[in-house]
Structure 1
Amino acid sequence: MALSHSDRSALVQRLRAAGCVYAEDEADLLIAAADSAAALTELIDRRVAGRPLEHLLGWAEFCGLRVAVDPGVFVPRGRTALLVAAAAAVAGPAPAVLDLCCGSGAAALVLHGRLAPRWLAAADLDPAAVACARRNLTPLGVPVYQGDLFVPVPGEWRGRLDLVVANAPYVPSEAVALLPAEARLHEAPLALDGGVDGLAVLRRVAAGAAEWLAPGGHLAVEVSAGQAAALCAVLAEAGLVPTVVHDDDLDATAVTARRPGRTLPR
């Protein structure tokens, strides 16, 4: 719908007063999403009240793609572009790929286009995330399993995966309360809380990856810069060989870890 210059300016000012850093961009997106003045008013009221913009729009931009995001589902962060890039860099040709803790399925969606994998699947414990990921991935023929980490994955892929990507929760439990309200109040706690030191889920991912990766295969995960050394020790203890990647512009840290051994013929 169209707004007058003065009405748009007032909308921008209201968003800015509510703490929206990119108020002008958000105003344009919300105006485009509304099909009536009443609908726009409702969207603005909910945004000012703290609802994530992506939940209001029903999508998030990630690595140049529009990813469907349902209310309550973890919103893909821009910094996770580093995780996807790091994963793609170590994947090899036509890999078998598993996206764990997939949330909306954003990482799998991007990797589907970048890697042309011979097999690609995603999994998450949260039923809402699984439903959302299926909206994004089922049209591509990518299965999404519901369950705890590797548990729901078909056993035939044990020891045969070339790449496991996991944007697992890594926020220490006591720090969850310090997260922005948009995340803390409107995203599933299990997508945020990584336990006492933030590495509880990643320890289990590392242990599972050592079993599910093929020789020469890689695990790729996201973590904070301050946790990278501790995570590398966890990965090494699991028998994997870690490498840390950092991007100052994204303020992002990813770790890839290789299972030793020669890549098996397919």
Structure 2
Amino acid sequence: MWCRNVLRTRTVYNKPAILACLQCLTNNNLNSVTLKHPARRLFVSDARECTIGDVIDQWSRRFESEGVQEPMKSIEHIVAHVIGTKKMVDILNVRNDALTASQIEKLESLCESRLSSPCRMPVQYIVGEWNFRDITVKLVPPILIPWPETEILVDVVVKRLSSLQADSGEIIEIGCGSGAISLAVAHACKGMKFTAIDKNLHACDLTTINRDNLNLTKQATVIHANLKPDASIEVLSSSNGADNVDLNSKLFDFVISNPPYVPTKQIPELQPDLRIYQDPRALDGGDDGLTVIKSVLKYAAKALKPGGRLFMEVHPTHPEHIQSFTNNYPDLKLYHEHSYKDSCNNDRIVEVVKVI
């Protein structure tokens, strides 16, 4: 699991570069990327003798020599995509397997794209999809990449549903991005109904594609809508069931969110190989990183049923502020019940309960 100390890797993007990369990925034509390095066809002529282990070893060395961050992880994920495995542990079991000439050609094209793209396009965008918990979601820039830390949020929600023996219920996700969170929970909990909203229309379109690909259409409704600072929800386009629900009066069993939580001043310090690709609106949490979080808390206070729960992924410094916020505003009837740690032992997920 990739560790993100204190901050998740969240960055700023450059619109022209994003549009070029998005067009390239949309056309499914990675070979059209202008290569900074001449393509080196290392293995095609020796396809019969080329093994997965050979590919991993040679490309990881090349990635490392050319300054690609996490070179081994990069090639392992590209190989996993090419051979069609969803679990990285499977790579260890197939190192001695041979690759076909077509697999090698595809792999080399993806690897050269990783080397050639501006500021090293993240491998998630290179392969165009990502394994998240038990599902695979399509990804395109600038929609936020779901990191392993976010899987903890899904685990916490699924475990809480199990402990409550909740066979049915309604959940709203604020800021769905690719839809990974809602769709992963929906995949694990077939009786739950989901409303996923995002102010980015492209995010809503991507969530809809992922929902349909996962056969979760009956469980999830995707709405182009924005949570405003006053904790009201503004529907931005009337489609996909938006006309059939009033999100400012409807009650939910759970609210889940991975809101922008990086303090504005810390965004320039983030990892450069992602800086131009991800949408800053999904990253920038304001001066203290709590701007959107406070709106989510206020919305949860009116949208949760008594005994309902809010789950959020936050910055490690935020849980104590969230606890103070709920204590200072007793009229909200919210109680900070627990904070959960990520793989780096940082507080990352908060669970807040609507007091009965």
TM-score normalised by structure 1 residue count: 0.87
Deviations 1:1-47 (A, max 9, x none): 97535665432212223222424413524654895766544422331
Amino acid at match of 1:243: E
Deviations 1:142-194 (A, max 9, x none): 11111213333621673520001001010001111111124322111111111
Match of 1:45 in 2: 112
Amino acid at match of 1:254: I
Instruction: Select 1:145's aligned residue among 223, 227, 231.
Output: 223
Match of 1:246 in 2: 340
Deviations 1:50-89 (A, max 9, x none): 1111111111111132121122111111011221122233
Instruction: Select 1:76's aligned residue among 146, 157, 167.
Output: 146
Match of 2:36 in 1: none
Bigger RCO (CA 8 Å, 6+ sep): 2
Name the SS for the 1:60 alignment partner. strand
Match of 1:264 in 2: none
Name the SS for the 1:140 alignment partner. coil
Q: State the alpha-carbon separation in 2 of the partners of residues 156 and 78 from structure 1.
A: 30
Choose 196-205 or 78-87, whichever is displaced more: 78-87
Moved >6 Å (runs of 4+) = none
Counterparts of residues 11-26 of structure 1 (less than 5 Å): 11-17=59-65, 18-21=68-71, 22-26=73-77
Runs of 5+ in structure 2 lacking a partner? 1-42, 85-100, 228-232, 236-241
Instruction: Select 1:85's aligned residue among 141, 145, 155.
Output: 155
Contact 2:79 2:107 in 1 (8 A): no
Counterparts of residues 181-220 of structure 1 (less than 5 Å): 181-220=272-311
Compared CA separation, residues 27 and 160, structure 1 to 2 (3 A): closer
Compared CA separation, residues 190 and 248, structure 1 to 2 (3 A): closer
Q: State the alpha-carbon separation in 2 of the partners of residues 234 and 159 from structure 1.
A: 24
TM-score normalised by structure 2 residue count: 0.66
Q: State the alpha-carbon separation in 1 of the partners of residues 133 and 255 from structure 2.
A: 19
Q: Percent identity between the aligned chains? A: 23
Q: State the alpha-carbon separation in 1 of the partners of residues 257 and 338 from structure 2.
A: 15
Compared CA separation, residues 179 and 229, structure 1 to 2 (3 A): same
Q: State the alpha-carbon separation in 1 of the partners of residues 125 and 312 from structure 2.
A: 25
Instruction: Select 2:264's aligned residue among 154, 173, 190.
Output: 173
Match of 2:200 in 1: 126
Match of 2:177 in 1: 103
Deviations 1:201-233 (A, max 9, x none): 111111111111111111100112222101222
Q: Which has the larger radius of gyration?
A: 2
Name the SS for the 1:155 alignment partner. coil
- Alignment coverage as a number of residue pairs: 261
Runs of 5+ in structure 1 lacking a partner? 262-266
Contact 2:152 2:342 in 1 (8 A): no
Q: State the alpha-carbon separation in 1 of the partners of residues 270 and 337 from structure 2.
A: 28
